[in-house]
Amino acid sequence: MISGVSMAIMGAGLAAFLAGIGSVLGIGYAAKAASGVLSEDPTKFGSLFLLVVLPGTQGFYGFVAAFLIIGNIAKVVNFDQGLQLFFAALPVALAGLISAIHQGKVCAAGINLEAKQSGQAMKGVIFAAMVETYAVLGLLVTFFLINSVKF
């Protein structure tokens, strides 16, 4: 039989794992685009760096959520509490997965913009930040749900 502690551990793992996968894929899209641009103009590294690393933030959000859940595992005394922590992990896990992938695509488009019109990278960052908003909302919902569990 699965215990409440096991459910909480699965939730923590899911938050870190799914958000991390999204970040890996998102950074991959942006890094591929940046590598192509840098092969033509290596001086653009500084302006492209932020666009490449931006999708990695979702992985950090998943890690923070996992850390918060792990910090509460010792308090779990029944299955319901563990299940609540498992479900609390879902917003950041799913928002992190999906938003990081899409943010990577937006960042790749921003990189292409910078390649064609030098000095325009910050416009790409602004568009990518719009996608970031939903990852932050996922983290906030997870945070509030973790703190709503009655121990």
pLDDT digits (tens, 9 = 90+) for 13-45: 999 999 999 999 999 999 999 999 999 999 999
Backbone dihedral angles phi then psi of residue 120, each to the nearest 5 degrees: -105, 5
| DSSP 8-state class, residue 5 | H
In the predicted model, is pLDDT for residue 1 greater than 90? no
Query: Which range marks the domain in which residue 94 is found?
Result: 4-148
Looking at residue 25, what is its pLDDT? 98
Cα separation, 91 vs 15, whole angstroms? 8
As given in the structure block, the two tokens for residue 87 are 């479900």
Total domains in the chain come to 1
**What per-residue confidence (pLDDT) applies to 132?**
96
Question: Which residues have CB under 8 Å from 15's CB, separation 6+?
Answer: 62, 63, 65, 66, 69, 89, 92, 93, 96, 142
Residue 133 burial (10 A CB sphere; 0-12, 13-18, 19+): exposed
Q: Check: CB of residue 135 under 8 Å from CB of residue 60.
A: no
Q: Phi-psi region for residue 117, left (φ > 0), alpha (ψ -120 to 50) or beta?
A: beta
Find, among 17, 28, 86, 29, the residue nearest to 58 by Cα: 17
CATH of the domain at 95: 1.20.120.610
Average pLDDT of every residue of the chain: 97
pLDDT digits (tens, 9 = 90+) for 113-149: 999 999 999 999 999 999 999 999 999 999 999 999 9
Token output for 31:
């890094």
Res 88 pLDDT > 90: yes
